[in-house]
Amino acid sequence: MLKNLFMLLAAIGLILSAASVNAEQTVILSNGEYPPFFSQSLQNKGVGSHIIREAFALEGISVKYEYMPWKRALTMAREGHYDGAVGFRTSPEREEIFFVSDPVLHIETVVFHRMGDRFDWKKLEDLASLKIGATNGYLIVDVLKPLVKQHGGKLDVAPTDIINMKKLIAGRIDIFPCEKNVGLHLLKTQFPPDQMQQISFHPKPLLDNKLHVLFSRNKADGSQLRESFNRGLTKLREKGSYAKHLEECYTQEAIP
């Protein structure tokens, strides 16, 4: 009788333990709109969201995304309302308040310009006398602001990339620095072919950056989640799925 009771208690313990483990297998990450990498409206929520979800899945963890403006996404993750935030650059300041994952994506900011303009550049000072469109909150604003002030140019800051691209097409700005694939996606999805074909970009990267998942230090398991994600991301690369997802994304974004 006593033996049966112990067996029953052990079975209940295993069930409760399994339920506890299962309850801990979902992470909630703040996300935002930065297509084709991150977007609520895209298939698989964008290639970056897809890679993050698959990397976690290889470690037996599911992902739920909550969408909001990027600034709020960072704040909510920092305060511990979510387990982390996707798609952010790292910095010494962010490393103090987040556990930073291995790089998820490599991105390149290039200079978009009108097709008919004769445009070339070798150093940042070559851009500083122009009228430059920039998007509020992007790193490039801080990079270019002192240069245009020194060299007589103008930095025209707008709230969104699409507004800047419209200004470029209309000739209201000379150039628009933007992440290459973000700019190409914008042209293909938001503009008619005749306007899309008016715009090109210089092949020389203006900025090279990497995007990471930032895990909150205000969550007890933040460090463990980072380690799990990094292991899953390594597995995803080793099995070839990571490269396949990126190749499919970039092929779709290319303008013929």
- The pLDDT tens digits for 169-221 are 999 999 999 999 999 999 999 999 999 999 999 999 999 999 999 999 999 99
| Residue found by looking up tokens 């920039």 in the block | 134
Distances (CA, A) of 164 to 73, 133, 145, 181, 184: 23, 6, 16, 15, 13
Which residues neighbour 214 within 8 Å (Cβ) at sequence distance 6 or greater? 74, 77, 84, 85, 86, 88, 90, 94, 98, 99, 100, 101
Phi, psi of 52 (to 5 degrees): -65, -45
Cβ atoms of residues 100 and 92 within 8 Å: no
Distances (CA, A) of 149 to 13, 121, 124, 125, 157: 68, 18, 13, 11, 14
| Per-residue pLDDT at 251 | 81
Q: Which residues, given as ranges, of the chain have pLDDT below 50?
A: 17-23
Cβ atoms of residues 35 and 185 within 8 Å: yes
| Residue found by looking up tokens 């390594």 in the block | 234
pTM, full prediction: 0.82
| Residue found by looking up tokens 């990497």 in the block | 210
Cβ atoms of residues 109 and 211 within 8 Å: no
- Cα separation, 219 vs 225, in Å, equals 10
| Per-residue pLDDT at 20 | 42
| Per-residue pLDDT at 22 | 43
Amino acid at 249: C
Domains in the chain with CATH codes: 20-106+209-253 (3.40.190.10), 107-208 (3.40.190.10)
